[in-house]
Amino acid sequence: MTETSRHPAPETTPASRTRSHRRLSVLAVATGALWTVGVTLVATQAGSDPVGAGYDAANRFLTLSLVLLVGFAALLRSSPPGGSTKGPMALVAGSVLLLAGNVLEFWAVLLTDLHTEKTAERLGETDAFWGSPAGWLLFVLGMLVTIAAAAMMGRAIGGLRGAGLFVLAVVGLAATGLWAVSPLLAGAAGLALAGWLIGLVQPRWSTA
């Protein structure tokens, strides 16, 4: 018997996999819950023209769910759905882009004397923070990469379950497109993202 067989690597032991699954489950629930609340809050401010006074604050609340999503994606690499790490790696890239776009538009502006583009419009100001359009482009790119990651993981899982999880991901991310429509619809769509994340950590959907 070799030394390796007597002492399995920590990441391959059942106890380690159980701890990883628990952390992923907690992150999935927390991220999904905060995302749902965040998109609902943004929707309460984005439904008017110009946007409400709390638009920037609502988007800053959304930052927390994006930070957790980055952590979730990073940890998911150790327990990849379907046994393929390509999807989780793409999810890391997508979630980092989402976070970067949000931070650039709504946090970096605090270092200047300007307002975000939407707030500047509301206040009747002609000059707006340059990071607003740049941050939005990063956010949109992050959406596209995250959808691609969902497709990769759905394919790795396979079958109706994989397809169902992909649909949940698309609906959950579509919550950002429903901001200007209805807080209720945005919140309902946000719940789909929670379902996607929770579904990704189910052991029976992994080949590990």
- Cα–Cα distance measured from residue 146 to residue 153, given in angstroms and rounded to the nearest whole number: 11
* Model pLDDT for residues 79-137, shown as the tens digit of each residue: 899 989 999 999 999 999 999 999 999 999 999 999 999 999 999 999 999 999 999 99
- Cα–Cα distance measured from residue 85 to residue 91, given in angstroms and rounded to the nearest whole number: 10
- Cα–Cα distance measured from residue 114 to residue 163, given in angstroms and rounded to the nearest whole number: 44
* Model pLDDT for residues 184-201, shown as the tens digit of each residue: 999 999 999 999 999 999
> How distant, in Å, are the alpha carbons of 44, 83, 111, 169, 196 from that of 119?
15, 45, 16, 30, 33
User: Does residue 72 fall inside a structural domain?
Assistant: yes
Q: Are 115 and 124 in contact (CB under 8 A)?
A: no
Write down how long the chain is. Answer: 208
Q: In the chain, how many domains are there?
A: 1
User: Does residue 9 fall inside a structural domain?
Assistant: no
**What is the 3-state composition of the chain as percent helix, strand, coil, each rounded to the nearest 5?**
80, 0, 20
Q: Which two tokens stand for residue 113?
A: 């004397």
What burial letters (b/e) apply to 61-75, b meaning 16+ CB within 10 Å? bbbebbbbbbbbbbb
Q: Are 63 and 107 in contact (CB under 8 A)?
A: yes
Residue 181's pLDDT is what?
87
User: Does residue 141 fall inside a structural domain?
Assistant: yes
User: Does residue 6 fall inside a structural domain?
Assistant: no
Which residues neighbour 6 within 8 Å (Cβ) at sequence distance 6 or greater? none
Q: What is the dihedral of CA 86, 92, 93, 99, to 10 degrees?
A: 160
Q: Which two tokens stand for residue 202?
A: 């189910």
> What is the average per-residue pLDDT within 64-81?
95
Q: Range of 60's domain? A: 15-205
Q: Are 85 and 77 in contact (CB under 8 A)?
A: yes
Residue 2's pLDDT is what?
43
User: Does residue 158 fall inside a structural domain?
Assistant: yes
User: Does residue 7 fall inside a structural domain?
Assistant: no
User: Does residue 8 fall inside a structural domain?
Assistant: no
Average pLDDT over the chain reads: 90
- Asked if residue 204 has pLDDT above 80, the reply is no
- Asked if residue 56 has pLDDT above 70, the reply is yes
User: Does residue 4 fall inside a structural domain?
Assistant: no
